[in-house]
Chains A and B, each alone.
Chain A
């Protein structure tokens, strides 16, 4: 019996799938999709861990996912609607703000946690051969949960103000996908850079705050703006995505040109992030 087993073993070790060849590579290493697929369980467990750990040792636990957008909503409503007297024609301010915050909560969290993810999981990088790209990807995916909670919250609050979803709400899904591609591309680049230059982790909170004020989340764009303003807005993919998101949820005017610009920039950012990461992945363990 033992012999039969070991004979099986021997043949098993000679199947080409079970053998690994290690040699120097050069240039960016494209992600091996079949290899990533074989790590899907690890990926799922990393996502689950990221979600679970975020609310570990909190009394309210997952209720924080509801609490945080609500608290932000209250602060922005007070600051922008009452202090700065921002008014949005035809839309109650809380509904307007929450529609933007729903997307922004995802973008800001995904950017921050995604960029820190490799540094936070440095042992996985330096001690295991698991594909490193799983780590920032899992961080981005784990934040989707917060998005869906905020989204449901938005639907409820909008309904309370008498805004009911129309069929265009289905467009929020492809828009979310584009936003996900944007944060993924961004965080693949930032996470890999952060391993070598920890400045990224220091600077990012400020940059994210700046991004918030540069994007029409709590306020509305002046139309028509100056031409240089239009260029800045077109370069910020969040502008087009937010405008399209509001169109899908609240029926505001559709941002044709801005959305095209946003999708273009998103594609470039995503491709850049994937290529940069593929380039950096080979030396991540050495840089750590």
Chain B
């Protein structure tokens, strides 16, 4: 028997009236607006209807972790706000069965003047916990946060890390049947993030239903069992996580038609002394990359004035959709010949050749970093994408596809060495059940 439906949305829509000139936010604007309308002159602000969401229909069954992903401005947050009953829909209806907790922000209501202890009770109450519940879980919350020694101190004296840890610790001890979660995971250091992810995993293991809004493919891949992709206020995909992420990464954005990937590649860290302009990936016979053939990766570096190429370390990471990095390529492993040398505002291309990329056929994301003595000059998590196509990697006709059991493919030989068999069979190849 399928699990019961706990969240159902039917034709949800949200319309905002936007002032195209400028929305009157003070009484003066309002009066001027009326005045100008009376005279019929000047730049008249007019109201325009903008549908942030339209025709949203979906169901979530108990125990599902539904990821809602989409570019900025697609309407994800509006959807979450409607389900969390923060704002009303303009059309349609939604129904949620069970105790709902919504977590759109960590530390809502935290007051800087109050102690850590007071804020735990305050924030707990705002999130819908009873005083008794917070009392019972107080020690756990403090333990989870790891800031136990400072609980009597006003949190304005907390570091931002401590603040976030305490805030998340309270949220992590919510005990709802349905959890509506905004992208609040990207907090704290990575160890703490993993702790938070584990906590959410625990919740879902025990049959809780989670709706998780995010624009980070990695966290969606790690957490969700199903995904809907929202773009321009509509659901453009509903189903399997990997396919959904593929749709998301290829979908055009609201502002200017660049794909999500192109936008992501604009997000860079580092000093910017040297930037990676482009990474091109070529297979042995053209753009098609297969696991059993050589691959060439070309990295275009552009140096700002005066930057030198001395002691540069360039790394390429190949990431799968589950946010693991099965392959790292680095100039540290195989220093380039000749050493790159460019002076003023020059462009230079590094070429990395690999004999093969024995990875499960799928879509990958390629990250790139340029470092010198541990200082990051340029880093992009989402420089480009790479698709590895199925091929007869093992040479046996068993073609590993995207359902391959493991993320990497390993060349292997099997022999039978047991005496009882060796008399009859000699080193027979055993076919692997791949693909």
Contacts and interface: CB of A to CB of B under 8 A. Distances in A.
Q: Do A and B come from the same complex?
A: yes
A41 B133 CA distance: 12
A139 to B, nearest CB: 14
A226 interface: no
A237 B6 CA distance: 51
Given A45-B125, A128-B127, A199-B28, A22 B93 contact: yes
Most buried by A among B85, B89, B130: B85
A10 B4 CA distance: 8
> Interface majority SS on A: helix, strand, loop or mixed?
helix
B125 A198 contact: no
B90 A12 contact: no
B424 interface: no
Given A20-B95, A22-B82, A197 B114 contact: no
Contacts of A46: 125
Contacts of B98: 12-13, 18-19
Contacts of A129: 84-86, 102
A21 interface: yes
A14 B4 contact: yes
B250 interface: no
A13 B4 contact: yes
A41 B131 contact: yes
A127 B108 contact: yes
Interface in A124-182: 124-130
Contacts of A197: 25-27, 30
A56 interface: yes
Given A22-B95, A56-B114, A286 B109 contact: no
A53 B131 contact: no
A274 to B, nearest CB: 19
Most buried by A among B89, B90, B91, B126: B126
Given A22-B93, A41-B131, A130-B126, A9 B177 contact: yes
B164 to A, nearest CB: 15
A10 B61 CA distance: 11
A6 interface: yes
A10 B81 CA distance: 26
Contacts of A52: 113-114, 118
A199 B95 contact: no
Interface residues of A, number: 40
A45 B25 contact: no
A128 B91 contact: no
B114 A286 contact: no
A128 B126 contact: yes
Nearest to A129: B85
B340 interface: no
B177 A13 contact: yes
A56 B6 CA distance: 44
Given A13-B177, A57-B113, A20 B96 contact: yes
Nearest to A56: B113
Contacts of B95: 19-22
Interface residues of B, number: 49
B122 interface: yes
A285 interface: yes
Contacts of A19: 95-98
B262 to A, nearest CB: 31
A25 interface: yes
A49 B111 contact: yes
Most buried by B among A9, A20, A49, A282: A20
A22 B94 contact: yes
Contacts of B76: none
Contact of B109 (A6, A10, A57, A121): A121
Interface in B118-159: 118, 121-122, 125-128, 130-131, 154
A86 B48 CA distance: 59
A20 B128 CA distance: 15
Contact of A45 (B84, B108, B122): B122
Given A13-B177, A53-B111, A198-B26, A22 B86 contact: no
A8 to B, nearest CB: 11
Contacts of A196: 25
Contacts of A121: 109
Given A10-B4, A45-B121, A25 B27 contact: no
Contacts of A286: 16, 87
A13 B176 CA distance: 11
Most buried by A among B4, B62, B97: B97
Contacts of B30: 197
15 contacts: A13-B62, A24-B89, A45-B125, A52-B114, A53-B111, A53-B114, A127-B104, A127-B105, A128-B102, A128-B108, A129-B86, A196-B25, A198-B26, A199-B28, A282-B88
Given A45-B122, A285-B87, 14 more contacts: A10-B4, A12-B177, A13-B98, A13-B177, A22-B83, A22-B85, A22-B94, A41-B131, A53-B113, A128-B104, A128-B127, A129-B84, A130-B126, A199-B26
Q: What 8 A-B pairs come out closest when comparing CB atoms?
A: A56-B113, A13-B98, A129-B85, A22-B94, A42-B125, A23-B93, A19-B97, A127-B104
